[in-house]
Amino acid sequence: MRTLEDNGLMKTQAFIDGCFVGSADTPVTDPASGAVIAHVPNLGADAATQAVEAASRAFRPWAAKTAKERSATLRRWFELIVAARSDLATILTSEQGKPFAEALGEIDYAASYVEFYAEEAKRIAGEILPSHRPDARILVQRQPLGVVAAITPWNFPAAMITRKVAPALAAGCTVVVKPAPETPLTALALAELARRADFPAGTFNVVTGDAVAIGGVLTSHPAVRLVGFTGSTPTGKLLMRQAASTVKRVALELGGNAPFIVFDDADIDTAVEGAMASKFRNSGQTCVCTNRIYVQSAVHDVFVARLTERVKQLRVGCGFDDGVVQGPLISERAVAKVEAHIADALGKGAEIAAGGKRHALGGTFFEPTVITGAASDMLLAQDETFGPLAPVFRFETEAEVLQAANATETGLAAYFFTRDSARVFRMMERLEFGMVGINTGLISTELAPFGGVKESGNSREGSHHGILEFTELKYACIGGI
Q: Which is nearer to ligand ADP, 206 or 374 (by Cβ)?
A: 206
3-state SS assignment for residue 35: coil
**Is 471 near ligand ADP (CB under 6 A)?**
no
How many chain residues touch ligand ADP (CB under 6 A)?
A: 14
238's CB contacts (< 8 A; 6+ apart) are: none
Q: Which is nearer to ligand ADP, 232 or 270 (by Cβ)?
A: 232
Handedness of CA 214, 161, 116, 447 (dihedral sign): negative
- Tell me the per-residue interface mask from 253 to 292 with ligand ADP, x by CB under 6 A, - otherwise: ----------------------------------------
**Is 238 near ligand ADP (CB under 6 A)?**
yes
Q: Which is nearer to ligand ADP, 151 or 275 (by Cβ)?
A: 151
Q: How far is the CB of 48 from ligand ADP (least distance, A)?
A: 10
**Is 211 near ligand ADP (CB under 6 A)?**
yes
Q: How far is the CB of 57 from ligand ADP (least distance, A)?
A: 23
Q: How far is the CB of 219 from ligand ADP (least distance, A)?
A: 7
**Is 177 near ligand ADP (CB under 6 A)?**
no
Q: How far is the CB of 213 from ligand ADP (least distance, A)?
A: 8
Q: Which stretch binds ligand ADP (CB under 6 A): 201-209, 231-239, 308-316, 394-402?
A: 231-239
Q: How far is the CB of 454 from ligand ADP (least distance, A)?
A: 17
Nearest to 300 by CA among 243, 342, 353: 353
Nearest to 205 by CA among 238, 235, 169: 169
Q: Which is nearer to ligand ADP, 235 or 296 (by Cβ)?
A: 235
Nearest to 409 by CA among 433, 435, 442: 433
- Scanning residues 137 to 176, which ones bind ligand ADP (CB under 6 A)? 151-153
Q: How far apart are CA 207 and CA 51, in angstroms?
A: 7
- Known catalytic residues? 253
DSSP string, 213-280: HHHHHHTT-TTEEEEEEES-HHHHHHHHHHHHTTT-EEEEE----EEEEE-TTS-HHHHHHHHHHHHH
Q: How far apart are CA 55 and CA 60, in angstroms?
A: 10
Buried b (16+ CB within 10 A) or exposed e, 102-137: bbbbbbbbbbbbbbbbbebbeebeeeeeeeeeeeee
Which residues would be at the binding site for ligand ADP (CB under 6 A)? Answer: 151-153, 178, 180-181, 211-212, 215, 231-232, 235, 238-239
